[in-house]
Structure 1
Amino acid sequence: MSVHEPPELFGPEFTRDPYPTYAWLREHSPVHRFTLPQGMPAWLITRHDDVRKWLADPRLAKNLERFLPEEALPSPQLRDVLTRNMLASDPPAHTRLRRLVAKVFTARRVQSLRPRITQVTDEVLDRMGTAGETDLVDTLGALPITIIYELLGVPMRDWETFRKWSVLGSDEQSTGSEEFETATEALKSYTQGLIADKRVAPGEDLLSDLIVTRDNDEGLSDDELVAMVFLLLLGGQETTISLIGATVYHLLRNPDQLDLLRKEPERLPAAIEEVLRYDGPAMNASMRFAVEDIEVEGVAIPAGGVVFLGLGSAGHDPEQVPDAERFDISRSGVKHLAFGHGIHTCIGSALARLEGEIAIGRLLDRYAELRLAVPPEELNWRPGMHFRGPVELPVVYRAKPR
């Protein structure tokens, strides 16, 4: 890519491999102005130190309704579902919402899920059998799906309804479509009924605890509870599915690293962290808005300007990570931004890490042979501005002798 050639953001080539474009931007246009599909200008910040600083700077806000024009907002009947959550809120609303969720979504609760996560993983691998070919994104995707639905207390008979919305919600191409609107309305109605049932007969699940938790005698409203369910569905499923898929993909593409991990399985947590840095499931943080005129790297962004913070680009910044383009699970002490930074740091990061570690660990422990079933260039990757990960990952596998 020449100095004078502008990068094509979010096109097919970028979707397959965004990192050469990010490298060009960090060097030549670290605060890059581009145009959103809705026709509005936006700015993409790509250098690690800038991304980290602005993730925590209150001069960038999250409230869509405060800054976006009416035509760019979700439809009025769905707006509460998509905006009344922690991710789309600013203090003091965000502070209250996060404090309420943190009361019940604790580190202890996440760790208590370890036996169940292990059990579900083993059940998934049992269904795979001793040898064959499978799409690991689909197969291992059953793990985070099962765990988040059980955590929320969703009856198994209704999982298909939740899964359909989650797939649409993570597909940025479908947002605003008639199918997306219909699925969202149906899930909103169902979730309202589920909340009403749990108010009468609470269970031992996260949603029941969210219903009864209080902060200074104030709890979550029904609209806030519905919005929280939608947020947890996306955060608890699609990003973890992508993390597991990307981890397997990069290990298979780097057999020396796979061999190292097999020989030294204690490196598994570091391997997950390296995938999060190198090719994490969140390419950009969710959009923010300048609350006043700001300047970043000499570039003026006006009040109300839409800003994207390049989490994926930050992980490849050579000023932060030596030899950043190399996938290396033996790295230590590298601090990535895959889960964000500041008040909006992902509250489910511990669960994603735990599921990733268990899924990859049990997979490698069971199968002596794992290899891609198709050339890497034939794989499809999630399109869009936010999510990153393989759409499918066909592999051939063979179990260890027992």
Structure 2
Amino acid sequence: MTALEGDTTGSPEEALERETLPPEFFNDPGDDPHGWNAALRAGCPVHKINHPPGAEAYVVADYANTLKAFNDPRLSKRIDAAPAWFQEQLRDASPVLIKNMITADPPDHTRLRKLVSRAFTARKMEQLRPRIQEITDELIDDLPDSGEVDLMKLAYNLPMRVICEFLRVPDDDRSQVQHDVVMLSEAPYPDEERNALLRVASDKIERYLLDLLAERRQDMGDDLVSELIRAADEDEVFTEDELVSTLVLLIIAGHKTTANLIGNGTQALLQHPDQLALLQADPSLAESAVEEFLRFEAPVFRGTIRIATEDMQIDGVDIAKESFVHLLLSSANRDPEAFTDPDRLDITRSPNRHFAFGHGAHFCAGAPLSRVEGSVAFPTLLRRLPGLRLVDDPDKLDWIFDNSTSRGLRSLRVAYDTRLPR
């Protein structure tokens, strides 16, 4: 069986001799996804792919064409630009997901982004640093004095606690909210059974957030939910459905991406002793290191949905109207035409114009929060857990390739010599 018949154990070069990449290129790429990406870039960087299954779709693998595509108005984020069957599938499975800025073009995108832009400024996120530090230390306090742990538990708990505090979601509700929004982040599923469960989760989180909005209107504060309500009430151009959909987006983006940043970055750092020693010796490099982790092992490996609104070409490849266009961020981030020695981890790399948070109008609004969380987490882990090291063979790490655009680890077992006090 060749790779393009559903088995990605074949070589990239062998696979690319065929016309269409299989869905497995996204959800089961085998042991060397960066090798697949390099092979794509070395040939024609715009290639057909069967994803969503049955759709006319293409991947864009190089930096230059990805940059152009980010700014191409012919590539729409609107769900109603997609084929009718996909619109029906997504609206039936999870209508709460498709009424926020990530599924909108200007002027609706501009209007919806205003809901969050004033809350997620770099200055306001920096003001959260002391509390993020406190939460990080609390989570490390809960670890054993020494031994082995699954670091992904901390990686998920840190951003989830931060975003829930930012939203003022009660402690008792956080576990269920996390479960439901993670399920929504992978919509739509390729099978009816999981889509049925998805609709249940969608209905539950919609009801919960509508109730939260109603409660918050009676108890306004300085939390993000209150900020969104004030912005909506001032402009009077936002529906309740748009508020709910925006909250779902913020919870998904506010914890899953950062969890992957911490996990992906830690495993990369522990495999590069020279860079580990460099960051241990100079914690002031944390911000630069975060940018390199984002580039080297992007927590979001491809861009969110884009659909051609007319017949067009990308790098000479014909793209028909209603085709899906997937921007391979993890591939563009390792393009040798854009980065010197791109397969080398270098926490001092500058400049570092990666696409981990997207680019242009749809640049991730939550990027300032994720960056602060990462710049707190990495030096704190290294300072408080001396001897931090991987337990498992790096080749045996269990990467998650689900139906979402994220790429992270299912678990990351690490060991350390002792747990130091704050």
* Bin of the TM-score, shorter chain as denominator length: over 0.9
Within 5 Å, which residues of 2 pair with 1:220-235?
A: 220-235=238-253
- Alignment partner, residue 161 of structure 1: 176
Work out whether 1:326 is the aligned partner of 2:336: no
Match of 2:415 in 1: 396
SS at match of 1:33: strand
Structure 1 segment 2-401 matched on structure 2, within 5 A? 3-6=13-16, 9-10=24-25, 14=29, 16-71=31-86, 73-74=88-89, 76=91, 79-171=94-186, 177-214=195-232, 217-384=235-402, 386-399=405-418
SS at match of 2:388: strand
In structure 2, C-alpha distance between the alignment counterparts of 1:397 and 1:172, rounded to whole Å: 37
The question of whether the paired residues in 2 share the 8 Å contact of 1:136 and 1:392 is answered with: yes
C-alpha RMSD over aligned residues: 2.1
How far does residue 252 in structure 1 lie from its aligned partner after superposition?
Answer: 0.8
Q: Distance in 2 between matches of 1:10 and 1:85?
A: 28
For 2:409, the aligned partner's letter is: P
CA distance in structure 2 between the aligned counterparts of 1:285 and 1:394, rounded to whole angstroms: 29
Q: Deviations over 1:105-152 (max 9, x none)?
A: 322221111111000000001111431211101123211000101111
Measure, in 2, the Cα distance between the counterparts of 1:400 and 1:186: 40
Deviations 1:32-53 (A, max 9, x none): 0111243112010011011011
Q: Secondary structure at the match of 1:392?
A: coil
Partners of 2:187 and 2:377 in 1: CA distance = 27
CA distances 1:278-311 after superposition (whole Å, capped 9, x unpaired): 1111100012011111111110101111100111
Give, in whole Å, the separation in 2 of the partners of 1:140 and 1:123: 13
In structure 2, what is the Cα distance between the partners aligned to 1:161 and 1:229? 15
CA contact (8 A) 1:64 1:73 kept: no
2:146–2:419 contact (8 Å) kept in structure 1: no
Q: Aligned partner of 1:111: which letter? A: E
Aligned mates of 1:211, 1:13 — CA distance in 2: 41
Whether the 8 Å CA contact 2:12–2:36 is kept in 1: the answer is: no
What is the distance in 2 between the residues matched to 1:128 and 1:401? Answer: 11
Secondary structure, aligned partner of 1:128: coil
Conservation of the 8 A alpha-carbon contact between 2:59 and 2:326: yes
Assess if the C-alpha contact under 8 Å between 1:282 and 1:338 holds in 2: yes
Equivalent AA in structure 2 for residue 89 of structure 1: A
Structure 2's unaligned 5+ residue stretches are: 1-10
Range with bigger deviation, 346-355 or 181-190:
181-190
Q: Percent identity?
A: 37
How many residues align? The count is 402
TM-score by length of 2: 0.90
Evaluate the alpha carbon distance shift between residue 91 and residue 37 of structure 1 in structure 2; reply closer, same or farther with a 3 A threshold. closer
Q: Aligned partners of 2:347, 2:60: CA distance in 1, in Å?
A: 27
Query: CA distance change for structure 1 residues 2 and 202 in 2, over 3 Å: closer, same or farther?
Result: closer
Partner of 2:5: none
Encode CA deviations 1:328-360: one digit per residue, 9 max, x unaligned: 212211211111111000001011011011011
The CA distance in 2 between the partners of 1:60 and 1:38, in whole Å, is: 20
Residues of 2 paired with 1:271 and 1:105: CA distance? 22
8 Å contact kept, 1:170–1:238: no
Q: 1:254 to 1:134 in 2, by over 3 A?
A: same
Distance 1:150 1:128 in 2: 22
CA distance in 1 between counterparts of 2:80 and 2:273 reads 48
Separation in 1, partners of 2:420, 2:214: 51
Q: Whole-Å Cα distance in 2 between the matches of residues 73 and 124 of structure 1?
A: 42
Asked if structure 2 preserves the Cα contact closer than 8 Å seen for 1:284 and 1:386, the reply is: yes
Pick closer, same or farther for the CA change 1:184–1:216 going to 2, 3 Å: closer
Closer, same or farther: CA 271–184 of 1 in aligned 2, 3 Å: same
Gap regions ≥5 residues in structure 1? none
- Paired with 1:82 and 1:94, the residues of 2 have a C-alpha distance of 14
Using the TM superposition, name which of 379-388 and 109-118 deviates more: 379-388
Distance 2:83 2:207 in 1: 26
Q: SS where residue 368 of structure 1 aligns?
A: coil
2: CA distance between counterparts of 1:227 and 1:2? 39
User: Structure 2 vs 1, CA of residues 42 and 380 (structure 1 numbering), >3 Å: closer, same or farther?
Assistant: same
- The 1:218/1:264 distance shift into structure 2, 3 A limit, reads same
Moved more, 152-161 or 243-252: 152-161
Secondary structure at the aligned position of 1:213 is classed as: helix
Q: Give the Cα separation in 1 of the matches to 2:420 and 2:139.
A: 19
Contact 1:170 1:387 survives alignment (8 Å):
no
Q: What SS class does the counterpart of residue 343 from structure 1 fall into?
A: helix
